[in-house]
A and B are shown apart, each in its own frame.
Chain A
């Protein structure tokens, strides 16, 4: 069957079975920035924006999103011209293996659209289902808070464009702790 989707701004017609999951279909179409880390719907690696909302592509069938507007990680910045969120992740050393990162950046984009100035707790809550094994979440959370500033400050990337991980998050813990019942 043919489905019409707008992917990263391009209207396309995609041939797929209606029950196929969107992650598989997007990857087949070459959007391999969409990662698959679980058997479905749990790890957050496959998050994409579907009509502006961050959702796990693997847990969504193509049939359900016919006509939708999709943004994958490929739709944000390019290697020469990173999106401010991507630049913040780079500058804060928030990327290690990078496998969870596309999903995390897409989620951050959705967060900042809703909550332009998140607290640390809100940043942590936003990526609570973006599982990352490498970073301990410390630097991604710092990157998200810094990205908020960059995006708010008229979207400009820090001019040094390089390595100035000002520890925005450190020492501002509001609710970093965990309760174990």
Chain B
């Protein structure tokens, strides 16, 4: 199915060598922006208004349907349970499932050797085709590589029976040696996780003899040359990040059945319906048209559902059992058998002259991808390609990464997608360098950071996504100014007690918006005779409010009320194609497709308006539910147009609009983060009293929703700074089995988060929008590390920041 030599870069960065880098003239500063895209704030009717979320009435009354809520519609619904590896590494030699098979109420049992178990290789990563992740998994495994690898599965009449049946299955293993530490794994004498023939679609730089699934690198200028210069200081620091769980409150859930036309239908909690459809067609060896993936309300994804994590098992079971099957991951499975953020060690090195000019930046990441390689290369690529371009004025830059397997749970895409790891290293490092050289840390950054008009070559140094780009909007200065004001940067009062010290730290961040050259969104709009509309869009709302943003964009173009648009999104049988909700692309890519579809329909609406008003179309526009003439003031309602078009005498037409959007652009949104901390120098205990984050997201389509995205992202970022994430005992078993073991900040433990939206205008985005939801995920770890350094003079480089670590550093110091 795939050409294994040519996985397309996606979901982040490209790291496959891409040939010649683009020419400068490929990125002219001028952008041919349609006039209606650059509306002044007082000209916007729907966009940039905090419109109520379209699905809120359903959500707050408990009427919204998430996947599991469809249970009541299927009387013969069976429930699934999965048998998972209890060893870290080895081979399944025997499975005794006889007890399960004989149990009352059990409808199907599958093992790796069952006829109904798909045996093709695949990756769970929900990325574009061909996937830039290795095909290194099978649905049920003989060769198991972590505690949690699926081995067998059961469908039974209820959840309890399914679980009991799964527990009765006896598995015999031949254990193999395992390795947990990525550094140890990356050596030739480490236990091997993969034999060469166990992987298809291998990724650049793979070397399975030392557990490496990929190696990537890119450079502009000559870093070694710059570092060797006599007039520079060379600084080097090393940073470590946690294994963070997505911890979305709705578990991974799929309901699968085969309909009366023998087509496989999946109602599933996913961010990537179209990728899932394609991947299932591959696994089950059926045509794509015979798979339907439909996404109901989704209870959070954050990248954890940018993967085909649970869908194949219920589908295989439903075929075997000949009835619908619902599979809900348990919370324990969520923590050890779904996905998590790649833990990384990132080394930062710079060459800086005495007067503070950065001559070179060099980042190296060692990424622990766990047992399988999904999103491994692309996430690691983003460690460099997202944060480093912030400093686009630095002449020499290099990024390199090794992505290594260990016998630990699977990692995957997660909000920020590598940028949090890179941002910690870069922003912590630069802060330390500024202090070393006695420079103002803000001014030091300002001297090197992006401005409008810059050609960002660093983003392109690894080719592919984020390839060289022009910066057309940048609100960094304003983000910093407003953030400083809000947190009280210039006036930090120290507490009365001598042992308490207060400090404010800051960090900057940039992300991307969509994947340059590798995105597609599409939308269709149809007009009803009463002047209302149905909007069909492939874009995927996973709880972010995307559907509402789409409606606002369409309403702005059509000049109608938001209530007059009914949206249907993300059902592969009904809605147009879309790559899915990831890479901060939804509003920008799918939103632009919606805008185009609305404009396409508007053209026809104006045609009919012109007929009815007997005025040339060029005089006409839409607004307030009408087509009106700027010349004469005459108007006709959309309802009249709808009836006339549908039931007219001489001519009839169903007014339809379509829009498809892809682009080479990926404009960065920016953020400036501030953290206010008070540290007790006697104990190392600290209290974060406030987080302030200012974000330049271009035009916010819905400011209320955008603020919510910023605050939620910042909370996730705060967790990366102060929580342990998923930890393991000495034998390599996850210590986190439920929410009560996962030590994350609850409501009472979360400081006030103040979000500030800084409006700029991004000419390539719908009505000036770029992305908002990822960039504030990157910034709290460095800002907090910097704040603690400011408060008590010690530097914590290993996340999480704890009182013990501060205390130990203070003791070392003192």
Contacts and interface: CB of A to CB of B under 8 A. Distances in A.
Partners in one complex: yes
Contact of B753 (A74, A92, A136): A136
Interface in B748-778: 748-755
B331 interface: yes
A165 B49 CA distance: 12
B547 to A, nearest CB: 12
B607 interface: no
Contacts of B711: 135-136, 138-139
A137 interface: yes
B59 interface: yes
Contact of B750 (A79, A80, A99, A178): A178
Given A137-B747, A163-B704, A180 B803 contact: yes
Contacts of A140: 747
B747 A99 contact: no
A33 B739 CA distance: 21
Q: Output the residue of B71, B159, B683, B750 with the most chain A CB within 10 A.
A: B750
A24 B160 CA distance: 11
A177 B690 CA distance: 7
A146 B749 CA distance: 21
Contacts of B298: 97
Given A99-B66, A177-B688, A134 B543 contact: yes
B249 A136 contact: no
Nearest to A20: B160
A34 B738 CA distance: 19
Given A139-B708, A178-B751, A43 B249 contact: yes
Interface stretch (A62-70, A125-133, A151-159): A125-133
Interface string A20-63: 00001001101111111111001101000000000000000000
B22 interface: no
A60 to B, nearest CB: 17
B714 interface: yes
A128 B747 contact: yes
Given A42-B738, A178-B749, A134 B300 contact: yes
Contacts of A89: 56, 60
B76 interface: no
Contacts of B713: 136
Contacts of B704: 92-93, 163, 165
B248 A127 contact: no
Interface string B452-470: 0000000000000000000
A136 B68 contact: no
B96 to A, nearest CB: 26
A105 B683 CA distance: 39
A90 interface: yes
Contact of B705 (A93, A129, A132, A181): A93
B545 A96 contact: yes
Q: Output the residue of A42, A73, A77, A176 with the most chain B CB within 10 A.
A: A176
A93 B685 contact: no
Contacts of A176: 689-690, 750-752
Interface string B679-723: 000010111111000000000000011011101111110000010
B62 interface: yes
A139 to B, nearest CB: 6
Contacts of A131: 247, 249, 739, 746
B722 A180 contact: yes
B299 A163 contact: no
A36 B68 contact: yes
B50 A99 contact: no
Interface in A93-151: 93-102, 105, 121, 124-125, 127-141
Contacts of B636: none
Contacts of A34: 62
Contacts of A92: 704
B62 A133 contact: no
A180 B686 contact: yes
Contacts of A98: 55-56, 58-60, 64, 297, 299, 543
B248 A133 contact: yes
Interface string B68-80: 1101100000000
A14 interface: no
Contact of B60 (A24, A95, A135): A95
A90 B72 contact: no
A135 B747 CA distance: 10
Q: Output the residue of A34, A135, A136 with the most chain B CB within 10 A.
A: A136
B60 A105 contact: yes
B745 interface: yes
B57 A93 contact: no
B738 A39 contact: yes
A5 interface: no
Contact of B738 (A38, A136, A177): A38
Nearest to A33: B62
A70 to B, nearest CB: 13
A174 B568 CA distance: 43
Nearest to B545: A96
Contact of A137 (B52, B689, B750): B750
A162 B52 contact: yes
A39 B302 contact: no
Contacts of B753: 136, 138
Contact of B53 (A93, A105, A170): A93
B750 A90 contact: no
Contacts of B716: 133, 136
A97 B748 CA distance: 21
B685 A99 contact: no
B167 to A, nearest CB: 15
A35 B685 contact: no
B722 to A, nearest CB: 6
B801 to A, nearest CB: 8
Given A133-B712, A181-B685, A93 B50 contact: yes
Interface string B533-550: 000000000111100000
Contacts of A121: 748
A99 B543 contact: yes
Contacts of A79: 57-58, 61, 63
A73 B748 CA distance: 23
Interface of A: 24, 27-28, 30-39, 42-43, 45, 72-74, 76-80, 82, 86, 89-102, 105, 121, 124-125, 127-141, 162-163, 165, 170, 173, 176-181
Closest 5 interchain pairs by CB? A33-B62, A97-B543, A99-B299, A98-B59, A136-B715
Given A42-B738, A98-B543, 19 more contacts: A27-B69, A28-B72, A32-B65, A36-B68, A39-B331, A82-B60, A95-B53, A128-B748, A133-B300, A136-B715, A136-B716, A138-B755, A139-B708, A139-B711, A176-B689, A177-B689, A178-B750, A179-B686, A181-B683
9 contacts: A27-B69, A74-B61, A96-B544, A96-B708, A97-B248, A135-B715, A138-B752, A180-B801, A181-B685
Interface of B: 49-53, 55-66, 68-69, 71-72, 159, 246-251, 297-300, 302, 328, 330-332, 542-545, 683, 685-690, 704-705, 707-709, 711-716, 722, 738-740, 745-755, 801-803
